[in-house]
Structure 1
Amino acid sequence: MEITVDCARDCINGCILKEKCPHREHLAQTEKFIQETSLDKMLEMAEAARLKKLTEPPKWVIPDDF
C-alpha cells in the first residue's frame, strides 16, 4: 500500500515520511548548502535572482484556441 503525500501541504511542519521520503537526496543537498553558505551570501543570491527577474521581458501566454 503506497501512501500519497503532498509535501507542500502535508509537510509544512517537517517531513512526515521521515526515512521513507522520496526527497531525501534533496534534503541532504539543502542541509549541506545551508551549513556551507553564509546568510549574507544567500541574501546576495536572492537579490541577484530578484534583479534578474525584474529585468526579464514579460512572458506572454497565448491560448491555443485564440
Structure 2
Amino acid sequence: MRIDCPDRTGGTSGSPWVTDLDPTTRTGAVVGVIGGYREGGDTADTSSSSYSGDRVRVPYQRASGGG
C-alpha cells in the first residue's frame, strides 16, 4: 500500500494504516504500519506499508486478550 503525502514528510513512520474509519467512534481496522523514507518509501513524500491482514490481526488479538 502506498500514499503520496507531500505536506506530511516528517512524523508518519510507525503510524497505523487504518481502513473503514467510523468518524463518530473514531475506530477502524488497522491493516498495516507506515514505514518512513528509505524504510517505507522511495521519496520523503511517499509512505508505504505491507498489508497486515488476519495473519497479523489474529495473533495480536490473542496476545492482547482480545479474542
TM range (shorter): under 0.3
Give 1 or 2 for the bigger CA radius of gyration. Answer: 1
Structure number having the greater strand percentage: 2
- TM-score normalised by structure 2 residue count: 0.27
Higher helix share: 1
